[in-house]
């Protein structure tokens, strides 16, 4: 009978992503909303002071949950 070895798919190490609020968002990049898991891509043009950034949220529920930088 052939023996089967199993390998764990559990992560070997864990780390926490930094959290920022919408008001503290000051770097372009990809952000994940902690509560819903929605992904936001924030281009540098969206962070120009006085600009009118267009950032769409693909969700039916509003949220004020913190964002995690990826």
- Identify the pLDDT of residue 65: 60
pLDDT tens-digit profile, the chain (70 residues): 667 777 767 767 777 888 999 888 889 888 888 888 888 888 888 888 887 767 766 554 555 566 655 5
- Identify the pLDDT of residue 60: 46
Q: Is 66 exposed, middle or buried (0-12, 13-18, 19+ CB in 10 A)?
A: middle
How do strand 19-20 and strand 67-69 relate by DSSP bridges?
A: antiparallel
Collect all residues with Cβ–Cβ distance below 8 Å to 47 and sequence separation of at least 6.
Answer: 25, 26, 27, 28, 53
Collect all residues with Cβ–Cβ distance below 8 Å to 63 and sequence separation of at least 6.
Answer: 33, 35, 36
Q: Is the pTM of this model over 0.85?
A: no
């Amino acid at each position: 009978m052939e023996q089967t070895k199993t390998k764990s798919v559990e992560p070997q190490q864990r780390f926490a992503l930094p959290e920022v609020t919408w008001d503290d968002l000051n770097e372009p990049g990809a952000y994940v909303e902690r509560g819903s898991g929605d992904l936001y891509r924030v281009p540098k043009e969206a962070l120009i002071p006085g600009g009118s950034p267009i950032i769409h949220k693909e969700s039916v529920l509003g949220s004020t949950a913190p964002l995690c930088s990826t």
